[in-house]
Amino acid sequence: MFKKNKGKLVPKGDSFEKTFIADGSIKADGRATAGPSRQNAAYGHHIDSSIHHTSGISTSYSFQVAKHYATRTTEGKPTNGYIYRIDRYLLSKNNINEEIHPDPIYPNEKEVTLVAENNSIIPDDVIEEIIFIRNLV
């Protein structure tokens, strides 16, 4: 992903609103709202961003969680990866919203989804450091 996106934080989708349909893809547990909403987008993104494409970028305020995801493929196989250290104080100055689902499915992931106001790439200005993590010999 790092090479494909040339080190840029590029979202998979172009919107941060989602409407769920009653097709069994989510549980009727009160986490989703009726109609389109940012909460639904955060929820879908948290469930599986490879299925529910949004303009959000998954981050975690836990280094260990970030390391886990950076060093695993979507199939769970080990790989080398990168962790982006983000300056949270620069997010609002760059029109980046932090979306946190009020009732996350996986609270231990400490997920914060970053969403650019224009639903585009997260600007380099908010990246303090990119850390290479070796997981393969």
In a domain, 88, yes or no: yes
- Contact (Cβ atoms closer than 8 angstroms) between residue 124 and residue 62: no
Span 93-130, pLDDT tens digits = 999 999 887 888 899 999 999 999 999 999 999 999 99
Dihedral of CA 63/64/66/71: which sign?
A: positive
Q: How many domains does the chain have?
A: 1
Cβ(21)–Cβ(36) below 8 Å? no
Distance separating alpha carbons of residues 4 and 53, to the nearest angstrom: 17
Token couple for 131: 């850390």
Structural domain includes residue 30: no
User: Which residues have C-beta within 8 Å of that of residue 1, sequence separation ≥ 6?
Assistant: none
Is residue 25 in a domain? no
- Provide, for the chain, the percentages of residues in helix, strand and coil under a 3-state DSSP scheme, each rounded to the nearest 5: 25, 25, 55
| Residue 5 placed within a domain | no
**pLDDT digit string, tens, across residues 42-67:** 888 778 878 888 999 999 999 999 99
Comparing CA positions, the residue from 121, 129, 137 lying closest to residue 83 is 129
| Residue 125: domain span | 57-133
In a domain, 119, yes or no: yes
Does residue 91 form part of some domain? yes
The reply to whether 81 falls in a domain is yes
Beta partners for residue 78, in sequence order:
72
Local confidence band at 137 (pLDDT 50, 70, 90 cut-offs):
low
In-domain check, residue 40: no
pTM: 0.85
